[in-house]
Amino acid sequence: MTDADNVLFVVLDTVRKDHLTPYGYDRETTPTLESLAEKATVYEQAVSPAPWTLPVHASMFTGLYPSQHGASQEQPYLDESIGTLAEALQSSGYDTACYSSNAWITPYTRLTAGFDEQDNFFEVMPGEFLSGTLADLWQKVNDNDTLRSVANKLVEVGNDIHEYFAGAEGADSKTPEVIDNAIEFTDDADEWFTFVNLMDAHLPVYPPDEYAQQFAPGVDATEVCQNSKEYNSGARDISESEFDDIRGLYDAEIRHMDAELDRLFSHLKATDQWEDTLVVVCADHGELHGEHDLYGHEFGIYDPLVNVPLMVKTPGEEGGRDDTQVEMQDLYHTVLDFTGVSAGRGEPLDTTRSLLSGDYRDFADGEYAFVEYHRPVVELKQLETKAEEAGITLDEESRYYSRMRAARRTDGKYIRNERTTDEAYRIDTDAGERDDRIDDPDEVIEEIEATLREFETRVGETWDDDYDPDADVLGEMDGTAKDRLQDLGYLE
């Protein structure tokens, strides 16, 4: 196949920028990406609009901020009124496919809208199981405050299932199967848009022996802490030595994903598809390994979570390094720009939001990126469970119960916290965000905070609701919903 404007969009879920070889990491975790970097543009300052999967993917698929598209843990699906990138490409004749092992990228969240082919590899429950009745139920329980604890239970049980089946006692990684399906699809398709999400670096991490021996020799993955809520709740301590072991396992998983990407890239080259394909490789968010006394990617919006890797190979263009601050939702406009496809019922193409445009970011506040973190209701319930089991009472005025927003420039960052004191950092001199400057007069910080206030006014997001995750579940649930939940084992 030649002369086709193909698009390959790869998300390395939960991967930190500073653990990748092209970003200066001193361990060879990503030789495939290092080779890609010779032809691609490597973005140093790409910023995700949130620190977790659902809102970030919804933003990349719609070009909208989380407060605009609404997909969060308080409404864990993308509303049907919002058009997606895949729907636009599908309507224009593209063959579209989504292959993922992330439980959030499924029909019930509507992130698979517009994909002709999709398989989410949710281990126990195949993709078609999460459509139809269950997808309808998912939206029903999340649209009613009194049913939200059912939705929380669905996700919590799903997380437990994933933790078991991703572990040493369960199934192997699904990444090879994801790559196999992507290869088969690109061979059979004409002009195609292929989206791939690889989940290996997400907790729990049980890398293949080949890479575990290389990056974490002698480390028993069943002995290290694989549940971030145990550490974040205070129920379990993690020494720096144990974090070193965790980082080794994490690196091994990254190396595994890189090796699988090599298979996909090599196949596209061998079949003469590579040169005509726009290739996007990024992370949706990163991971904390003890920084700010946090583990995982909950309860914070620090740079290891939101300053993500991004590499873009454009046919006919030279690569290089770029320190322009990029917002990940701009990838929506970039793909539309590359393919020449109309947005249909989605957000119209904005060339100032396309990485391929000469006037990229040429708009008011173009030097800023904005991050939003809605109340983490599912993680909070799990955190409370771990704390209760350890006899710990969590402070409801702590960051665990707080929504957060941030405005970021390449020289500074201001974090608005709902229930705790705001934070401010000069990331040009304090990349690790260790020196909180919230009480120090600083013109840069003042400018960023003022711009964040303008953004908050513009998107109209407020923090004044009385959401109660423990409200009565059964009182307003109809018989059909009860029967379906009984079938699934969530109700007696």
Residue 482 lies in a domain: no
Domain extent, residue 148, equals 6-355
Q: How does pLDDT run across 6-33, given as a tens digit for each residue?
A: 999 999 999 999 999 999 999 999 999 9
Q: How does pLDDT run across 400-432, given as a tens digit for each residue?
A: 999 999 999 999 999 999 999 999 999 999 999
47: pLDDT confidence band, cut at 50, 70 and 90? Answer: very high
Residue 72 pLDDT: 87
Indicate if the pLDDT at residue 439 is higher than 90: yes
Residue 163 lies in a domain: yes
359 against 485, higher pLDDT: 359
- Report the relative pairing of strands 320-327 and 41-47 from DSSP bridges: parallel
**Other CB atoms closer than 10 Å to residue 454's CB: what's the count?**
13
Any idea how long the chain is? 492
Q: Mean of the pLDDT values across residues 79-102?
A: 96
Indicate if the pLDDT at residue 456 is higher than 50: yes
For 158, the token pair is: 């799903």
CB burial string 399-412: b at 16+ within 10 A, e below: bbbbbbbbbbbbeb
Contact of 365 with 387, CB cutoff 8 Å: no
154: left (phi over 0), alpha (psi -120 to 50) or beta: alpha
351: pLDDT confidence band, cut at 50, 70 and 90? Answer: very high
Residue 394 lies in a domain: no
> Residues near 239 by Cβ (< 8 Å), separated by ≥ 6?
none
Q: Mean of the pLDDT values across residues 166-180?
A: 70
Residue 171 pLDDT: 38
The CATH number for 338's domain is 3.40.720.10
Residue 457 lies in a domain: no
> Residues near 213 by Cβ (< 8 Å), separated by ≥ 6?
none
For 102, the token pair is: 């992330």
Q: Mean of the pLDDT values across residues 159-177?
A: 58
Residue 373 lies in a domain: no
Q: Mean of the pLDDT values across residues 215-229?
A: 96
212 against 174, higher pLDDT: 212
Residue 121 pLDDT: 45
Residue 4 pLDDT: 72
Indicate if the pLDDT at residue 160 is higher than 70: no
Q: How does pLDDT run across 273-332, given as a tens digit for each residue?
A: 999 999 999 999 999 999 999 999 999 999 999 999 999 999 999 999 999 999 999 999
Instruction: State the average pLDDT for the chain.
Output: 87
Domain count, the chain: 1
Residue 257 pLDDT: 98
Helix H or strand E segment including 232: helix 228-232
In 3D, which of 137, 74, 73, 84 has the Cα closest to residue 110?
A: 84
Indicate if the pLDDT at residue 102 is higher than 90: no
Residue 467 lies in a domain: no
In 3D, which of 72, 112, 156 has the Cα closest to residue 383?
A: 156
Q: What is the percentage of the chain residues whose pLDDT exceeds 70?
A: 82
109 against 377, higher pLDDT: 109
Q: Calculate the alpha carbon distances from 64 to 111, 384, 441 in Å.
A: 14, 32, 33
147 against 197, higher pLDDT: 197
Residue 367 lies in a domain: no
pLDDT-wise least confident of 76-80, 102-106, 240-244: 102-106
Residue 159 pLDDT: 52
Residue 484 lies in a domain: no
